[in-house]
């Protein structure tokens, strides 16, 4: 037997390399890949858990603000799953006494309907879903951008951490209705995740799913349309995609947008013309010139940037006259325009270099463009919720700056969590320090959103010159639910306190019809009918097409025995709003008291047709059938009323 030749060191090395190429080293490669994958998952879970815990103290909160018009007092939403077809075929606020021909957001509203079906009149499912989707969004920020940044974990992690902790998001996460904002960013990130599969592996399924996610974002809120300008920037800054991929992506997104706009135009009654935007809704309408309007819009953009850097104080409403209308020589405009021009210059320079900092700035600018009130005037002038999506651009920019100027370590991939933390401890330390401060503000701000009362009482101190903040608090104080357990003297005092805030509201803005209307309601509850009619008339002079005012005036006339005049007012109300269930019920009652029972039945039936949960409609139907001697129908409708409201059973 011949002896085996002894290999030299060089020959051994060559053999080792050959074995690795043949698969001999695959175990180590897989191990490193697995470690990297595990680290990504660990960091994502840490971020998601952090985001969830930050908002865990909102899970027991009540409905607040627009939750009432979209959920709690919306007849379509309260139909549960039976209302989903109507939701997709109507405007966002349909089912509430508001004329809405502009907003189409069927996806979040359908979710609210399902939640109502599962647990009626219970805000917990809504709050839970908001917190869960927010936590998932934070996780997606990290996972998606770690893909697009070729395994760079530091920048996506810091960006996601800052986004999770930022207090400016409290309005969105703590307010169920703002699910629309959460879903816009969630579906955009999900879309980018699937798009990456298309870009890397040329899988058409990835492109299709990316387009579907974008479509779902459009169904969540109209502002998703601005993201059409962000997709090509993602390809430009983060990939080397060829022209063909740009074209295919453009086609997929265009198809999604086309389907959405067809659905939207079919659902919205675009033949109905709403009144113009009021000063009460958007303070920019108080500007005396287009120059002042532009200057004030830029001033507000400056406020947004300031709140992103230093988020204190936070206020749910800063309507007229809390933010002053300024001119183009005012320092607030000049400082803001200078900062935004500087950011534009940085974005242009960064664009040429494909520097991701340019993407962060452009993302912020594009996604805030609609809410900025510069390209077009929208139905509000200021809201912390309006910078929810845009704030990601801010957080990404801060993360990039921390990496560049604080983190001096190499960019090699970390093997595990300890290595990741030790390698980047300076940048991570600063990010954590800022996030702890943000988190403290977030957790302390959340309880303010527990109820309308806690929110309004807290924020009236922060925005005492806001006409709407005064209106919201005053309108709440006059509501019957605020008087439970009070004696008559205490009830009257509470209503008078509400009137004081409402009068403060109209002293700030005399043309605020809703505030005049609420004062009319307050005096009606005090049984001061002349004062009630006086303020209803003031409201009607400002807004003659408000169906609620006509209905309320009819109620005063009914109470004072002017049944024929009341009937005219109710008819006007249902003419202006053909789905106004309460007005149909009142109209039916007016016919009933005039002994026109067939017409009473006709209109009472319409009241429960438009609102199947309207207990008083069934009750008066039962009473009317009783008066007609129809015992079967009387019993059926009265039982229906008692099931909806047991307090009606006497």
Ordered domains of the chain (ranges, CATH): 283-446 (no CATH), 466-545 (1.25.40.10), 548-650 (1.25.40.10)
Once rounded to an integer, what is the mean pLDDT over residues 229-253? 97
C-beta separation of 39 from 428 below 8 A: no
pLDDT tens for each residue of 193-220: 999 999 998 889 999 999 999 999 999 9
pLDDT tens for each residue of 392-408: 999 999 999 999 999 87
Q: How far is the C-alpha of 590 from the C-alpha of 202, rounded, in Å?
A: 68
pLDDT tens for each residue of 135-144: 999 999 999 9
Once rounded to an integer, what is the mean pLDDT over residues 152-165? 97
* pLDDT at res. 504: 98
Residue 4 predicted with pLDDT over 70:
no
* pLDDT at res. 7: 56
Average pLDDT taken over every residue of the chain: 92
> Could you give the C-alpha distances from 474 to 519, 594, 628, in angstroms and in order?
9, 36, 43
Residue 2 predicted with pLDDT over 80:
no
Q: Name the residue with tokens 């806690």.
A: 454
Which alpha helices (H) appear in 55-70, and where do they start and end? Answer: 67
The secondary structure of residue 373, as a DSSP letter, is T
Which alpha helices (H) appear in 276-355, and where do they start and end? Answer: 290-309, 331-353
Lowest mean pLDDT among 347-351, 375-379, 475-479, 517-521: 375-379
* pLDDT at res. 18: 46
Q: How far is the C-alpha of 413 from the C-alpha of 333, rounded, in Å?
A: 45
Once rounded to an integer, what is the mean pLDDT over residues 610-622? 93
pLDDT tens for each residue of 354-373: 999 999 999 999 999 999 99
Q: How far is the C-alpha of 90 from the C-alpha of 79, rounded, in Å?
A: 14
Q: How far is the C-alpha of 162 from the C-alpha of 252, rounded, in Å?
A: 32
* pLDDT band (50, 70, 90) for residue 187: very high
Q: How many C-beta atoms lie closer than 10 Å to residue 558's C-beta?
A: 19
Q: How far is the C-alpha of 102 from the C-alpha of 335, rounded, in Å?
A: 34
Classify the phi-psi angles of 388: left when phi > 0, otherwise alpha if psi is within -120 to 50, otherwise beta: alpha
* pLDDT at res. 34: 57
* pLDDT at res. 35: 57
* pLDDT at res. 30: 44
* pLDDT at res. 151: 86
Once rounded to an integer, what is the mean pLDDT over residues 252-269? 95
Q: How far is the C-alpha of 75 from the C-alpha of 584, rounded, in Å?
A: 14
Which alpha helices (H) appear in 170-309, and where do they start and end? Answer: 170-174, 179-201, 204-220, 231-238, 243-267, 290-309
One DSSP character per residue, 75-121 reads: TTGGGGGGGHHHHHTS-TTTTSSS--SS---HHHHHHHHHHHHHSTT
* pLDDT at res. 115: 98
Residue of 181, 264, 188 whose CA lies nearest to 220: 181
The contacts of residue 115 (CB under 8 Å, 6+ apart) are 122, 125, 126, 129
Lowest mean pLDDT among 156-165, 324-333, 641-650: 641-650
Residue 558 predicted with pLDDT over 60:
yes
* pLDDT band (50, 70, 90) for residue 491: very high
pLDDT tens for each residue of 501-554: 999 999 999 999 999 999 999 999 999 999 999 999 999 999 999 999 999 999
Token duo for residue 618: 């069934």
pLDDT tens for each residue of 311-327: 999 999 999 999 999 99
Between 390 and 38, whose confidence is greater?
390
pLDDT tens for each residue of 411-433: 667 889 999 999 999 999 999 99
* pLDDT band (50, 70, 90) for residue 97: confident
* pLDDT band (50, 70, 90) for residue 98: confident
* pLDDT at res. 3: 47
Residue 575 predicted with pLDDT over 90:
yes
């Amino acid at each position: 037997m011949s002896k085996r030749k002894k290999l030299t060191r060089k020959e051994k090395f060559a053999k080792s390399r050959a074995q690795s190429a043949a698969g001999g080293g695959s175990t180590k490669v897989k191990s490193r890949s697995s470690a990297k994958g595990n680290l990504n998952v660990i960091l994502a879970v840490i971020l998601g858990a952090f985001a969830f815990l930050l908002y865990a103290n909102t899970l027991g909160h009540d409905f607040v603000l627009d939750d009432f018009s979209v959920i709690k007092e919306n007849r379509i939403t309260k139909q549960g799953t039976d209302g989903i077809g109507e939701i997709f075929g109507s405007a966002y606020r349909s089912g509430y006494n508001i004329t809405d021909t502009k907003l189409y957001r069927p996806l979040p509203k359908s979710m609210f309907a399902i939640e109502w079906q599962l647990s009626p009149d219970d805000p917990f499912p809504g709050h839970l879903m908001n917190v869960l989707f927010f936590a998932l969004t934070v996780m997606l920020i990290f996972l998606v951008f770690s893909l697009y940044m070729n395994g760079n974990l530091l920048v996506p992690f810091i960006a996601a951490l800052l986004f999770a902790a930022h207090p400016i998001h409290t309005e969105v996460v703590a307010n169920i209705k703002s699910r629309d904002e959460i879903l816009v960013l969630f579906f955009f990130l999900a879309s980018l995740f699937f798009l990456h599969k298309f870009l890397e592996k040329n899988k058409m399924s990835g492109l299709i799913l990316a387009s579907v996610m974008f479509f779902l974002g459009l169904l969540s809120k109209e502002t998703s349309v601005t993201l059409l300008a962000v997709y090509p920037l993602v390809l430009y800054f983060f990939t080397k995609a060829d022209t063909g991929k740009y074209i295919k992506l453009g086609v997929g997104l265009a198809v999604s947008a086309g389907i959405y706009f067809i659905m939207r135009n079919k659902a919205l009654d675009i033949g109905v013309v709403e009144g113009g935007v009021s000063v009460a809704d958007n303070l920019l309408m108080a500007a005396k010139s287009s120059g002042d309007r532009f200057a004030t819009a830029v001033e507000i953009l400056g406020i947004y940037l300031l709140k992103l850097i230093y988020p204190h104080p936070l206020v749910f409403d800063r309507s007229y006259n809390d933010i002053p209308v300024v001119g183009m020589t005012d320092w607030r405009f000049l400082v803001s325009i200078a900062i935004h021009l500087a950011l534009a210059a940085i974005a242009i320079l960064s664009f040429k270099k494909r520097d991701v900092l340019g993407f962060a700035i452009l993302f912020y600018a594009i996604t805030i463009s609609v809410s900025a009130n510069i390209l077009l005037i929208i139905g509000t002038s200021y809201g912390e919720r309006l910078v929810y999506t845009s704030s990601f651009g801010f957080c990404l920019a801060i993360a990039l700056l921390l990496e560049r100027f604080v983190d001096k370590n190499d960019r090699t991939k970390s093997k595990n969590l300890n290595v990741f933390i030790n390698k980047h401890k300076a940048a991570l330390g600063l990010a954590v320090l800022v996030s702890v401060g943000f988190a403290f503000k977030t957790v302390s701000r959340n309880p303010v959103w527990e109820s309308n009362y806690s929110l309004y009482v807290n924020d009236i101190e922060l925005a005492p010159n806001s006409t709407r903040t005064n209106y919201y608090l005053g309108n709440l104080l006059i509501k019957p639910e605020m008087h439970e357990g009070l004696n008559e003297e205490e009830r009257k005092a509470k209503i008078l306190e509400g009137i004081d805030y409402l009068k403060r509201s109209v002293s700030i803005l005399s043309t605020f019809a809703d505030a005049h209307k609420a004062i009319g309601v307050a005096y009606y509850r005090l049984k001061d009918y002349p004062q009630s009619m006086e303020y209803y008339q003031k409201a009607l002079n400002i807004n003659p097409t408000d169906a609620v005012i006509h209905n309320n005036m009819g109620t005063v006339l009914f109470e004072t025995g002017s049944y024929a005049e009341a009937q005219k007012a109710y008819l006007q109300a249902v003419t202006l709003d053909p789905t106004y269930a309460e007005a149909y019920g009142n109209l039916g009652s007016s016919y009933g008291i005039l002994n026109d029972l067939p017409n009473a039945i006709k209109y009472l039936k319409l009241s429960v047709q438009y609102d199947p949960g309207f207990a008083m409609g069934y009750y008066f139907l039962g009473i009317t059938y009783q008066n007609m001697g129809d015992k079967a129908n009387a019993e059926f409708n009265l039982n229906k009323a008692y099931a909806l409201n047991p307090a009606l059973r006497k």
